[in-house]
Structures are given as structure tokens and as C-alpha cells.
Amino acid sequence: MSRRRCRPATMLAGLLVLVLSAFLLPPASVADTATAGTSHTRAVPLAELTVVSEQVAFGLQRPIAITGLPDGRMLIAEKNGTVRAYHPDTGLAAEPVLDLTARIDTSDNERGLLGITPAPNFARTGILYVAYTSLPAGELTLARVPLGAPARLQVLLTQPHAEYGNHNGGQVAFGRDGYLYWSLGDGGHANDPFKSGQDLGTLLGKIVRIDVNRTCGAKPYCVPSDNPFVRTRGARPEIWVYGLRNPWRFSVDRVDGSLWIGDVGQGLIEEINHIRPSQRGANLGWSCREGTPVFDQEQCRPGVRYTDPVFEYPHFMTESCSVTGGVVYRGSATPEAWGTYIASDYCSTLAFAVRPKPTGGYETATIGNFPIQPTAIDADVHGELYVLSDLPGWLSRVRFERVPPASGGGTANR
């Protein structure tokens, strides 16, 4: 990469900007700082990247969620309620590190232990946050539990979900703001039977944001004062964004704190949404809309602003069936891919890449395939990617490779 010479005045101005930035920017983790430097490498067009997967573990029982720990391990949630540990040096541990099976309702294909994430201070406390459908009636449940101590589990927040077994959401993740985010589906079945997506009086069809470091009254958490609906009559104050169908996989970009949400479609469109912190309270459209097309005109309200997906792809009459939301790549092994969001589909296994363009809009491309039935894509402590495969019970390491540019481009821009 070429470098330009700077005049002394320009250099002094640049140093002043750097000093001010150190005070004004939000704090970053060690991993963030280590990977942030890779952003100076020039990103290549997405069509010049492909994903390559290498199986590193097998024998998992319906693995559904994965998260990285500070010590280099990956924790893998299995639907039945067990949590397994994998380390690249020692492989997959034979025995679970946590067993919550006595609490988990697995009566439907989509019920079970669904999400897992470590507390920001996990290295000191050993605390995990988990989302699951609980016995006896599939209630959507958010809880915290010390690793290896299931008897000390504490339930934080619940949402009744007894009528249907599908559309449970279930992702949990901490933001750069220190708050915990949790996704919940619209209540299940089809066609948004409870009209939950546009109803601010229920947590169904939402992503919520809560402060789990404090308690408020009888609640074991507090609602952040800048949540968008804390002063809206009849609204649940925990809601961060709404208008979702089944956002069972979302992630938080560790650099800018934005949410990337994979929302499963009814049967026409699968969609990916990108919500920055300034877009709190965004209405993503369901069930007025499925992606950008109108789905149920009766659920559309005059004057309401809907936030478009940044990427959508057809479901109907294709091999695709259910988007599996992923993460933004913030590793160092492939600097050219830094800042690229990567996602997939449970049936087609296509690898979708999405990246904001400096001039606005998004660059998108299909850059290969993941292993069969991808259920979760996440990063280790270094920002390198792993993917889970459901019924085969696989864990695979993912890397990017450069490929010659294809004729015709292979990208689409929004």
C-alpha cells in the first residue's frame, strides 16, 4: 500500500485528532484493539473472497449456539440443554461443562436451549447468560448461571409461549454498551397469529435490551433509561427494536455496537437487517411486510416508518428455507475481509457476505457454501469464525480465501 508524505502542520493536526479520539471513543476490549488495526488493509471486493470450512469436531447432539471465551475455548450449546467446550489445542471435551436438561422443554423441533453468551466479566465471575424454552409449557426464558453450577441458575425475564412450538428466537449477546440483548420470535405457527410483530405491549417479535448489572424493584434487572419506549404508554420498556418474525440469530459488531439480525421469512423472503445504536426503536416491518414486500396490509399503519433490510434473498421456489444470521468478521487472519458480515441459510448453506460501502449502501455477494445445516456462526476471542452443523453434530472452523474476480462481478448493491 502506498503512503503519502505529510507536511508538519498536517502531522500535528493528525496527532491532535488521535489524542482527542482516545478520550472520545468508547472503550474497546483487548481483542477489539488487536483486530482494529487490520482495518487499514485495503478491503477487496466481496466477489474476490470465498469461505473455506474445516471440520474440527463431531459427535455433538443438535448443536444450536456457540460463543467464545477469553481463555480461547468455544462453548457450544446443544438443544437438549447441555453445554460442551471445545479448545483448538485439546479438541472437544467429552463431558458437558453445564447441564440444564432438567429445565429445558424440547417438545418441538424449535424448542430447547437456544442461546448462550459469557458475561463481560466472565474471566472473574464464570457467569453465563442463557436463553431457552422452559418446562412445562415452552415459556421463553432468559437466565444467568455460573458455569458448572446449574443449581444456582437465576431467571431474569420470561415470555409465555405455550400455544405453538416454533418462532422462539433465542439469541443472547452483550453490546458494547454493557447491556444484554435478547431476541424473541412472534409466537409461532404462521401469519403472525397474535399480531405480535407490531404490538409494543408484548415482547414477542422483538429484540429487548436490559441492564443485568443492577436490580430495579422486584426485577433482577433494570431498563436502560435510553431504551426507546420507556415513556410510551402501553409499551414494554425493555423493547429495543420490533417488527420481527423469528430473529433466532443476531450479533453485535464488536467495533461499532450495531446489531446484525437474520430474520426468518414466512415463505417468500429471507432478510438481514443492520441496526445502528442511533436507530433504536426501529420497526422492521413484520407482519405488515416480509422483507420489503407487503405481507399483511391490515398490519400496515399510515405514517409508520419501516426500516428496510440491507440484504434479502428469495425463499419461495428456491433451495433456501431459513436464514442463519452470522457475525461481522473482526479477525486478523484475513485482513481483506475485515468488517464483512457473513451469514448463511439452513437449507441452501450459501455463504452471504454483506459490507457497508463508505459512500453509503451495501455491497453484497454470495461467496461459497458452509457445511450442511448451519445453525450458528460466531467468532472466538481472536475474531476468527466457527460454524455449527445441526443434525450431523459438527463444529467447523471457517476462513476466507482470495479468488480471482469472476466475470460479471457477482455482487449486488443496495
Answer yes or no: are the C-beta atoms of 92 and 66 closer than 8 Å. Answer: no
The predicted structure's pLDDT at residue 406: 65
The predicted structure's pLDDT at residue 64: 98
pLDDT (tens digit per residue) in 109-156: 999 999 999 999 999 999 999 999 999 999 999 999 999 999 999 999
Q: State the Cα–Cα distance between residues 75 and 73, nearest whole angstrom.
A: 6
Q: State the Cα–Cα distance between residues 271 and 379, nearest whole angstrom.
A: 21
Q: State the Cα–Cα distance between residues 117 and 139, nearest whole angstrom.
A: 20
Q: State the Cα–Cα distance between residues 150 and 127, nearest whole angstrom.
A: 11
The predicted structure's pLDDT at residue 43: 84
**Can you tell me whether residue 161 is helix, strand or coil?**
coil
The predicted structure's pLDDT at residue 410: 47
In this prediction the pTM is 0.90
User: Nine-digit cell at 329?
Assistant: 468478521
Question: Which positions of the chain have pLDDT values less than 70?
Answer: 1-41, 406-414
Q: State the Cα–Cα distance between residues 25 and 4, nearest whole angstrom.
A: 26
User: Nine-digit cell at 380?
Assistant: 472466538
In angstroms and rounded to an integer, the radius of gyration of the C-alpha atoms of the chain is 21
Answer yes or no: are the C-beta atoms of 130 and 172 closer than 8 Å. Answer: yes
Q: State the Cα–Cα distance between residues 198 and 218, nearest whole angstrom.
A: 28
Separation in Å, CA 362 to CA 136, 206, 255, 353, 355: 44, 24, 18, 10, 6
The predicted structure's pLDDT at residue 404: 85
Answer yes or no: are the C-beta atoms of 78 and 84 closer than 8 Å. Answer: yes
CATH of domain 28-413: 2.120.10.30
The predicted structure's pLDDT at residue 397: 98
User: Nine-digit cell at 15?
Assistant: 496527532
Answer yes or no: are the C-beta atoms of 348 and 319 closer than 8 Å. Answer: yes
